[in-house]
Amino acid sequence: MLERLVDNQLLLLLTGLEPKGRVDFLDRQIRIAMAWVGATADEPLLRSLAASALIDEDYHPLVAQLNQVVCLGGNYGFQVSLPEMKRLITVIRNPQQLSNQPPTLTPKIGRNITTLRYELAEELRTCHLPPTPGILLVVTGIKKPEALQEAGVWRSLSLLVEGESWQEFSPQPRFLPANFQEGIPSKNPLIWLMVLISILSYWLASLVKLLSSQKDA
């Protein structure tokens, strides 16, 4: 998920990453999640990270690098290696791979398939992000297309969408030019509800796994 916050900061959230060979004491896959919050000047880096996560679905260099960033150990079972994080940023931050063309503001939705993931990654490398606050990018397997459209997500991919091509839908007010937005509330409760549900779902899944492992032990 990629979101522009109301203070013009950017939030990139990657979840469900499965590093190869990273398992718990019961030989179960350990998934990691990472969030980055950056200023406008950090947009190229966050675009590169999002694009890298899109083009390689399975075990790929980005997941391998993040596996080095989030190390096992510490008081909570994991810790972040700042040297590895800086090394990752150095590798990802390559201005030669990015351009800064104006984006097409019309929202689009599609099925979460390789072809559209690659097209979305190319768009992130080519165009800067829409300037208005809100959730800009969602890639998921379980979200209904109606919910994504109602939230006005700029680009969204879900396994529940039918077809193999992008589908445009009517833009939400926040994607229109500023002179069309006068008097329109900037807050969208559904957007924040989606974020809250995603966070709670991830937390509950982790809690269930923890309780299950303690019971088995």
Model confidence over 36-48: pLDDT tens digits? Answer: 899 988 999 899 8
Q: State what percent of residues in the chain have pLDDT above 70.
A: 74
Who contacts 135 (Cβ-Cβ below 8 Å, separation ≥6)? 1, 2, 3, 151, 152, 153, 154, 191, 194, 195
Please tell me whether the overall predicted TM-score, pTM, comes out greater than 0.75 for this model: no
DSSP string, 134-190: EEEEEEESS--HHHHHHTT-SEEEETTS-SSS-EE-PPPGGGS-GGG-TT-----HH
Closest CA to 47 of 139, 145, 124, 123: 124
Res 92 pLDDT > 80: no
Residue 120's CB is within 10 A of a number of other CB atoms, namely 23
